Amino acid sequence: MKKNGTLNSEISKVLSDMGHTDTIVIADCGLPIPANVKKIDLALKIGTPAFLDVLEELELEMMIEKVTLASEINEHNPNLHHLLCDKFTDIAYVSHEDLKQETKSAKAIIRTGEATPYANIILKAGVIF
């Protein structure tokens, strides 16, 4: 049994298989999941697990080069937006509709129990060298 790090085997496998520029998405419980993209459903109930809990774990495991957010987050979820701006320096903004289109090329979408507006992020993998 793995004794530390991401214990979820599906998340661990996807992260291990990712290369430079591959993407993974952390989503709230309402984001539609494209049929051809692996869904890792962690949602247990509204709010559990929280978006930030999942993001913090992935930050420990993944080299993140860039993130993409829906531009609507600033107006509709300013608290989360400020937290994300404190965490990341390279942030791209697209419309929520364009973000949903970009999820179609992700290696996986991790569905959380988050139920706040626009709590979705695309994480682009960097390299460790």
And the tokens for 118?
A: 């626009």
Q: Which residues are annotated as a binding site for substrate?
A: 28, 96, 118-120
- Residues with a known catalytic role: 20
Q: Quickly tell me which residue has 């999941």 as its tokens.
A: 33
State residue 81 phi and psi, 5-degree precision.
-60, -45
How many other β-carbons are positioned within 10 Å of the β-carbon of residue 125?
19
E-only strand ranges, 1-129: 23-27, 38-41, 64-70, 91-94, 108-111, 121-125
